[in-house]
Structure 1
Amino acid sequence: MTPASRGLVRLLNTAGGRVLCLAGNIDAAAVDSHLRRYGREPMPVEGIDAGSVTGLSAPALDLVLDHLDAAERAGRPIRVRRSPAVERLLTAVGR
């Protein structure tokens, strides 16, 4: 996979708060790049936008689940926009 075809993982500050945005086919390298930039601890987010994800690697799924778990532990419900690929994976793990 070339860097141009790799998916993206970004933290965006929006009017509604911080959002973890994922797009495309999120491979381990994209997740690693995100973790190098922001650290391993999940950032507090108000939402996850994964509506344009076409594929999630195991590390990408872990990243999403880590953010969902951190929000749950903090008592903060967050909204999740899911593509069909993300819906299938999150449903498979009981989310």
Structure 2
Amino acid sequence: MLSRYSNIDYILKSNWQQGYKQYSKCKEKEFEKCAWDKWLIDYQIMQSNGQKYITFEKFLKDIKSKSQNPKNNKTNEQILEEMEKVKQLHCQQKGGVN
């Protein structure tokens, strides 16, 4: 956020809703910048390997959909079992009893 607003006082004086909107917008722009950098690298590979060209807009849309819909095939019970194992290991390392 400091790269966008050189003075943090502007942000600190705003109410929390405005601050949240600004923070969200900054994170979105940061995400898009990283996606742009990755697309530029992939674009060079597309050109050199003769791969199908993908526009940045499509590339960004694909990345956003993947990040919003992570693939997790585990059931809630499997996740809870893994959490219990981590908890037991943590207690064992601390020398405690579960």
Tell me which interval the TM-score lies in, with the shorter structure as reference length.
Answer: under 0.3
Which structure's CA Rg is the greater one?
2
**TM-score (norm: length of structure 1):** 0.24
Greater percentage in helix: 2
Q: Relative contact order (C-alpha < 8 Å, sep 6+): which is higher?
A: 1
